[in-house]
Amino acid sequence: MQIVSQVIFLLAVVGGIGLFVRRLSGIRKNILLGKEADYSDNPSERWKNVFLLAFGQKKMFRNPFVAVLHFFVYAGFIIINIEILEIILDGVLGTHRLFAPALGGLYHFLIDAFEILALLVIVSCAIFLARRNIIKLRRFISKDLDGWPRSDANYILITEIILMLLFLTMNATDYSLQAKGYGSYAAQPVGPFIISGKLAPLFSGMQEQSLVIIERSCWWLHILGILAFMNYLPYSKHLHIILAFPNAYYARLKPKGEMNNMPAVQNEVLYAMQPELAPADATPPSHFGAKDVSDLSWRNLLDAYSCTECGRCSAACPATTTGKLLSPRKIMMATRDRLEEVGKNIQKNGSFQEDGKSLLYDYITPEELRACTTCNACVEECPVSISPLEIILELRRSLIMEESNAPQEWNAMFNNIENNYAPWQFSPEDRGNWAKE
């Protein structure tokens, strides 16, 4: 029976990790559908961003209360799951608390620390559930989150609470079995621990076999739950738990107000004014801006997968605040949805088969793009260095430069800038008249 249990456990672990790696490989392929972009400069600054933004969650601490709760969930869930290593080895080898004899008092200290973190995770997740479903903060009830995205956040928080409760219940029943001198539990006495020790009296009146069933059930459900959670992450907004680190490393180091120039346009102007500089094999660019996800850079697509859907970008956006159709959060979610659709298309057909859709129009409308004031508030607020603005600019460039699709007022401004070097309709020599008096 023990051998069968070990084989089932090994198959579950290998299968879970295999599915997880396969999904991450698919996401990587989708991200690499984007255009090349070089973000290899200044590695020291980039590593600094990783430690400050991803590990340290620097931007989250603009709201200290929420930041501390988020840190408890983040650190607690990651650190507590160090004990997964012991669970995996116990499951494969058929042992019980393998590390306890070797670590001695340190083992007791570590499990105590894990239990304190588990309790903090439970409390923090409960508060986050209340903020979303009882208090209903404005950015959590936005229509951006209608349907699956709103449920996704709740499922994650509830799952984390359940996993932590399983961990504490497992330890509490383990200690109850130690106290009763039952089998291998008594042979490896390690309790009571700081939190589960307080729960152990709840189980003191139960029969030993019942305690074993509860302890083993919690043990199995805890590890299987973690494997299931791990495979759910890549389909969820909580993929940022993983992608926040590369996203922080590849963050843009330019000043936030600096837009990317378009070399193709600069060269067109240069060659028009100095034709002798034009190379013999010069060819016009195939297109300007971006109409679909493959026209964006791989960095933009990494942004889309890294989005936490927290809504801080949209809460800070003046267009969103004043009731315009634009929501930077929705821009990122739409980009990710379209990228997923394109990825499935390629996986099914071997290469992309035209489906009559595009990111522009089918997922993001011109009205949304025109509402953007290019103020960079969304970029400034994002805790993981995402730039919805870059995607907006690329899509807007396609609208204007490919289709001449712009409001009449914009076209008048463009003409004035081209002819008068100012948005207003007066001659260049009259530009200083306002200062004469």
* Tens digit of each residue's pLDDT, the chain (437 residues): 678 888 999 999 999 999 999 999 999 999 999 999 999 899 999 999 999 888 888 888 888 888 888 888 888 777 777 788 888 998 998 888 888 888 888 999 999 999 999 999 999 999 999 999 999 888 888 888 888 888 998 999 999 999 999 999 999 999 999 888 887 787 777 878 999 999 999 998 899 999 999 999 999 999 999 999 999 999 998 898 899 999 999 998 988 778 888 887 788 778 878 887 878 776 777 788 999 999 999 999 999 999 999 999 999 999 999 999 999 999 999 999 999 999 999 999 999 999 999 999 999 999 999 999 999 999 999 998 899 999 999 999 999 988 989 888 888 888 888 888 788 877 767 777 778 77
Report the distance separating Cα 28 and Cα 306, nearest Å. Answer: 12
Q: In the prediction, which pLDDT does 77 show?
A: 72
Classify residue 56 by its DSSP letter: S
Q: What is each CA distance from 207 to 5, 108, 204, in whole angstroms?
A: 23, 26, 8
240, 308 in Cβ contact below 8 A? yes
Tokens of 398: 């396609």
Segments in 200-311 forming alpha helices (H):
208-232, 240-249, 263-273, 298-306
Report the distance separating Cα 307 and Cα 243, nearest Å. Answer: 9
103, 110 in Cβ contact below 8 A? yes
What's the predicted TM-score (pTM) here? 0.86
Q: For residue 112, count CB atoms less than 10 angstroms from its CB and return exposed for 0-12, middle for 13-18, buried for 19 or more.
A: middle
Between vectors from CA 181 to CA 177 and to CA 184, what angle results, nearest 5°?
Answer: 75
Tokens of 65: 């209360």
351, 370 in Cβ contact below 8 A? no
Q: In the prediction, which pLDDT does 1 show?
A: 65
Segments in 81-140 forming alpha helices (H):
84-93, 100-103, 105-133
- Closest by Cα among 156, 90, 82, 148 to 121: 156
Q: Tens digits of per-residue pLDDT, 293-322? A: 999 999 999 999 999 999 999 999 999 999
Longest dimension (CA), the chain: 98
Note the Cα 294 to chain centre separation in Å. Answer: 20
* Identity of residue 143: K
